[in-house]
Amino acid sequence: MDLMYIENKARQYHSSDATGHDFSHIERVKNTAIKIASHYIDADINIICCAALLHDVADHKLIDAKDHDVVIDMMRGWIKEAGGSDTTANDILHICQNISFSSRDKN
């Protein structure tokens, strides 16, 4: 998968962000994810990097609920354009939709 393509899409998407979820934040998350993943031999670095780069694109705190499905479809398109399979896209989107602390199980 072409991670530079995903990185460029994420950079463009967050270029006018004023919420603190700018691309500098995205880079910090990606670098932290890579550092953590380096301790796990079975970690798929492509999925981890891609999820880190895209984790805020469909964040419910940053987009209107009515736009969620359209944004998810856009993200799926980016992943596929970067060479990701349907399975890879599903894995990345699952991570992105479940990574937020506010979406964690409260039980």
Q: In whole numbers, what is the pLDDT of the chain averaged over residues?
A: 86
In this model, does residue 97 exceed pLDDT 80? yes
Residue 106 pLDDT greater than 50, yes or no: no
pLDDT at 103 over 60: no
**Which stretch of DSSP H or E encloses residue 25?**
helix 23-37
Q: Read off the pTM.
A: 0.86
pLDDT at position 66 = 83
- pLDDT score at 20: 65
- pLDDT one-digit tens code per residue, 18-69: 666 678 888 999 999 999 999 999 999 999 999 999 988 877 666 667 877 8
pLDDT of residue 22: 75
Contact predicate 92/98, CB 8 Å: no
